[in-house]
Structure 1
Amino acid sequence: MCTGKCARFVGLSLIPLSLICIVANALLLVPNGQTTWIKDCLSLQVWLMAGFIGGGLMMLRSVFCSAFGMLGAIYCLSVSGAGLRIGPRCLMHGSWDYHFQHTAGSYLLNRTQWSSCVEPPGVVYWNVTLFSLLVAASCLEILLCGVQLVNASIGVFCGDCRKKEGAPH
């Protein structure tokens, strides 16, 4: 595959991934689809907007600058991974806190603990699902941006293999 075709393929692949990240981050702002939890109940990782900024907006710019997109995807992966490891901020035993942060992510395998978060309802399932989606999408974005960086470097040093219009054969 020539560098021009590769760049087009990678660019077109990154667009739906960035849209997935933006939508997933928007959904994290409304746990269980309810807007009543926005004030002080959302975790820091939700407010850091990794899916919106890192996996979304910075990735859309990666069509023009793969290194910028790679940084955005790494940011999204880091914050989303921390969101999974720490767990959501929720009401449990009468207090709002990050009640799963000391489990080092083991709460992910013990679904019986998830119902301990009373409010927002279903927030653990919501966060685990959406942060996992962000982790997966950002990993794919890192891979595609890496391919794009290598492809762009090859294109700079070796040229584009597409035939120029109007050039003699």
Structure 2
Amino acid sequence: MCSGGFAKCLGISLLPLSIICVLCNILLFFPGGTTVDSEHITKQVWYFGGILGSGVLMIFPALVFLGLKNNDCCGCCGNESCGRRFAMLSSILFAAVGVLGSGYSVIVSAVAINHGPQCVVYSNSTYDEWSYPFSNGDYLSNTDTWTDCVGPNDVVSWHLALFSVLLVVGLIQAALCAVQVLNGLLGALCGDCCGCCGGSDGSV
């Protein structure tokens, strides 16, 4: 497969992953599937790791990778024009942006998972209050402590599941962008169709 065609496959893969991350980040604004006051939303949600990092910033490299297919022509080999090679080289820059964006999402998600959600806990026998009861991360290995959160319902599993999806998808996005860095280098050095580099007549 030519480097432009391979980049298009990467772009097609990145787009749905970006949508998944945006949706997960939006759902995190509704802990346990309920509406709460903004000050009771876990603070890492406001860092917009899924919306900005793995979402908006990932759209740019995805669209660039998709556009590289337009340059995927064996006739480019032996051509004095460096336009196609430059396009592959410039894709490396957008791939780096994708790595940074997904890396940001991964870091935010990892911190959020370790820190745990903000939820309602019993402070005494007369009233409840919002706090972060799992800030030491022990809740990951001891699910019995999840009952410390008395509301919203299922807030711990909601928090953990959505941030885990953001973490895993962010790692996948980073890996895909890293692959495009290598693919872009190969395309820039060998031409958009590496199989054509053996001759200047455009034959494979």
TM-score (norm 2): 0.75
Give structure 1 stretches of 5+ with no counterpart: none
1:145-160 maps to which residues of 2 (within 5 A)?
A: 145-160=177-192
1:95-117, Cα deviation, whole Å (9 max, x unpaired): 32221112xx3311222211211
Give the secondary-structure state (helix, strand or coil) at the position aligned to 2:38: coil
**TM-score, length-scaled by structure 1:** 0.90
The answer to whether the Cα contact below 8 Å between 1:3 and 1:151 also exists between their aligned partners in 2 is yes
| Structure 2 counterpart of 1:111, one-letter code | T
Whole-Å separation in 1 of the counterparts to 2:113 and 2:202: 57
Is the contact made by 1:29 and 1:38 (CA closer than 8 Å) also made in structure 2? no
Residue 113 (1) aligns with residue 142 (2): no
- Select which of 106, 109, 116 maps to 1:77: 106
Residue correspondence of structure 1 range 24-43 to structure 2 within 5 A: 24-35=24-35, 37-43=36-42
Aligned to 1:123: 155
Letter in 2 for 1:149: V
Correspondence 1:58-69 to 2 at 5 A: 58-63=57-62, 64=64, 65-69=94-98
CA distance, structure 1, for counterparts of residue 202 and residue 13 of structure 2? 34
Aligned to 1:45: 44
SS at match of 2:192: coil
Tell me, yes or no, if the aligned pair for 1:80 and 1:131 is still in contact at 8 Å: yes
Query: Does structure 2 retain, via aligned residues, the 8 Å contact 1:115–1:122?
Result: no
Q: Does 1:57 align with 2:45?
A: no
| In 2, Cα distance between equivalents of 1:80 and 1:38 | 22
Q: Which has the larger radius of gyration?
A: 2
Moved over 4 A (4+): none
User: How many residues end up aligned between the 2 structures?
Assistant: 163
Identity of matched residues, %: 39
Q: C-alpha separation between the residues in 2 aligned to 1:106 and 1:52?
A: 28
- Does the residue aligned with 1:101 lie in a helix, a strand or coil? coil
Q: Deviations over 1:134-162 (max 9, x none)?
A: 00100100100000111112111211008
Instruction: Give the Cα separation in 2 of the matches to 1:130 and 1:62.
Output: 24
The residue aligned with 2:174 is 142
* Distance (whole Å) between structure 2 residues aligned to residue 92 and residue 38 of structure 1: 16
